[in-house]
Structure 1
């Protein structure tokens, strides 16, 4: 339940309006807070500040911040559109959550609200001597924050939406998701060893992508009703209303309708895939960028080569996991979870690139070098897949490249050739 709340909070944080709303509420509270200093010992300690000087600052802030906020939104929308057009539409969810842009927009809008509230309060005599002094300090502090934020935002918006920056962001998100999967490939539950031969099936009541599985809710249900549950879908899977999402066995008579309802409630379905718990989605998004770059209209093999490097770094996360291996914690011992096949990871990362770049020697050479590098990872599945996909990539190149000396150069880099 706690993890589910955290996930919902993350979804809320991703909304563009969330941080500006919090900053606006904080700005209103801050403007009114200055009044609390009135009637205290500060009255005898602080100097008198003319209200005209504060009103001048507040008028400057209110007049400029709304314009800057509109400009900021327009710049962000342009950057989002550029990221979707030059990279992949799947990058939008990442670019829109850029911290620098959201924080800048929050500060600009919050400053505007602060200046309006403070001006109204000042005009109506809400503050006395100490309150005016505190308001003066708050206004100066806010003005400093606005200037620093604007400078940082100008630097950030120059990168936001650029292809290299988008690739870097997607790789970072993919690395987090993939690292979490490598550490807990079975979601803190048990792996499926033998499918239930006489289990009861639970069918989905929704159509869409699995975005989150509430393992704690499934465990609580299993404990309460004496169930053993086998999960048949993972985050990222597309399911339909006749899809068997789980099967279960029980040692006592149970209410099948209640179990079906609660299991469906624990598996959250949405229209799109999310990066957080879907370790394959980041690989897919990166590969889409490479495929787009290799299209005839764009013809940018350099970007495809850059993406291959990103994939190589992501696969070496398995190597780090082996070096820092820790004992897996089983939190949900009543649930069994399927594994993600290594072939799925290789398909997501390399099949489209080897298909779309089959005729480009530079791309295929870089791909073969990546396979040689990945094959050094001390994991049997990865070694086998690296050799297999090295051969498949060469076979594709063999069909596309008509200049035989290029094929000979490529063959010398293939794993199966050595």
Structure 2
């Protein structure tokens, strides 16, 4: 049952990130409302409302057809324009910042809900038009259905105004960076909280029995309780060699066991692990470091030439690295005082190197960016939660950055300024 639940949960997370998910649900809702209103009209709901509020009802069939036809045509044009704005946003974000940003922008629920409201209202008005006859008098005309269609059209106009405001905010790089940062921060905080009080050690796995995954894809999620139950039943410990969020190759070693396992047990373990064809920050916080780094690198390219954006990106990276220093690098999962499962993690050293390698390559010639990166390193060194090993890693990166920067600067003034800043 738990296995089925986690698969349904992963499937929902994957589908929810698609741009057509909520529009499809709301469009079906609009169709159902139209069917319900047809049923209500057959039971005389318009006649009863007309006796109480006659001014709210349309009393002529031709007028009702004209009003709904005008609303329908306007809404279709509005929806086409809105979709064009979304595509423009995605195109600009991909060309100016990073293609990795597209999944996060596509999964913006506000855009999906607005497009869904358009579709729901269009479908409602179409099926309401079917129920109107020009020759009908005011007592047989579905006046309440027509009134509801007009109200829904007005709601669409209000939603369009909000859509224009939201799309203008979404394209701003500060808001994009902040959205990435908030998602990664929430994920990191959950991981840090789950590691509280875990001081168990894990044996060396170099001589353990290795097994491939048998499938390829991004390691998205796993059912920890089910795998731990298998460990208890087989009297073994298990080590997953690929960090969560990274790509798993079909025939590469993915699973190691302290004791040999038969094929059925291996398949049972693999069945409790979900694989996907894309990456989400909610499942893999390291993707946030990649995205922010790519934004900074793209901003420093000659085609963009936007060092201000790169500086903002370094600010967000600094905060995320400081939070990451509070997380352990062992990946051991403790349950009932037993450490039977370990999942490989992207270590702090690997994460810092991957970020700094890209930034050094594209920013080493700019004294301002070098100074900003030094400031980031100095801030990370000052964190009280930093372990000694983290301090050594940061020192190595500082030395490498200074060495490359000195070889890239054109003037001695820049070199001396960076040396003074480092000494200070």
- Which TM-score band (shorter chain)? 0.7 to 0.9
User: Normalising to structure 1: TM-score of the pair?
Assistant: 0.85
1:26-66 deviation digits (Å, cap 9, x = unpaired): 11121222333735798376345325454444222211111
Q: Is the 8 A contact 2:217 2:247 kept in 1?
A: yes
Q: Is the 8 A contact 2:409 2:415 kept in 1?
A: yes
Corresponding residue SS for 2:128: helix
Q: Is the 8 A contact 2:297 2:362 kept in 1?
A: yes
Alignment of 1:367-382 (within 5 A): 367-381=373-387, 382=390
CA 1:51–1:390 in 2, change beyond 3 Å: closer, same or farther?
farther
Corresponding residue SS for 1:268: strand
1:174-210 deviation digits (Å, cap 9, x = unpaired): 3333333333369x99966212476432212133432
Q: Is residue 263 of structure 2 the alignment partner of residue 229 of structure 1?
A: no
Corresponding residue SS for 1:75: helix
Aligned mates of 1:394, 1:127 — CA distance in 2:
85
Q: Is residue 218 of structure 2 the alignment partner of residue 212 of structure 1?
A: no
Alignment of 1:399-418 (within 5 A): 399-414=407-422, 417=423
| Equivalent position of 1:350 in the other structure | 356
| Equivalent position of 2:314 in the other structure | 308
Aligned mates of 2:132, 2:199 — CA distance in 1:
63
Moved more, 122-131 or 94-103: 122-131
Q: Is the 8 A contact 2:213 2:254 kept in 1?
A: yes
Q: Is residue 48 of structure 2 the alignment partner of residue 43 of structure 1?
A: yes
Q: Is residue 153 of structure 2 the alignment partner of residue 143 of structure 1?
A: yes
Q: Is residue 10 of structure 2 the alignment partner of residue 7 of structure 1?
A: yes
CA 1:201–1:320 in 2, change beyond 3 Å: closer, same or farther?
closer
1:376 CA displacement:
2.5
| Equivalent position of 1:155 in the other structure | 165
Q: Is the 8 A contact 1:88 1:285 kept in 2?
A: yes
| Equivalent position of 1:325 in the other structure | none
| Equivalent position of 1:85 in the other structure | 95
CA 1:141–1:403 in 2, change beyond 3 Å: closer, same or farther?
same
Aligned mates of 1:6, 1:126 — CA distance in 2:
50
| Equivalent position of 1:181 in the other structure | 191
Alignment of 1:1-400 (within 5 A): 1=2, 2-34=5-37, 35-36=39-40, 38=43, 43=48, 46-48=52-54, 49=57, 50=59, 52=61, 54-123=64-133, 132=142, 134-184=144-194, 193-196=202-205, 199-250=208-259, 256-318=262-324, 330=335, 334-381=340-387, 382-400=390-408
Moved more, 113-122 or 310-319: 310-319
Q: Is the 8 A contact 2:65 2:134 kept in 1?
A: no
Aligned mates of 1:375, 1:293 — CA distance in 2:
26
1:362 CA displacement:
0.7
1:371 CA displacement:
1.8
1:234 CA displacement:
1.9
Aligned mates of 1:319, 1:51 — CA distance in 2:
71
CA 1:281–1:371 in 2, change beyond 3 Å: closer, same or farther?
same
Residue-pair matches, total: 407
CA 1:209–1:190 in 2, change beyond 3 Å: closer, same or farther?
farther
Q: Is the 8 A contact 2:326 2:386 kept in 1?
A: no
CA RMSD of aligned residues (A): 3.4
Aligned mates of 1:41, 1:272 — CA distance in 2:
50
CA 1:127–1:115 in 2, change beyond 3 Å: closer, same or farther?
farther
Aligned mates of 1:260, 1:196 — CA distance in 2:
17
Aligned mates of 2:200, 2:343 — CA distance in 1:
5
Mind listing any 5+ residue stretches in structure 2 that lack a counterpart?
none
CA 1:54–1:3 in 2, change beyond 3 Å: closer, same or farther?
farther
1:273 CA displacement:
3.2
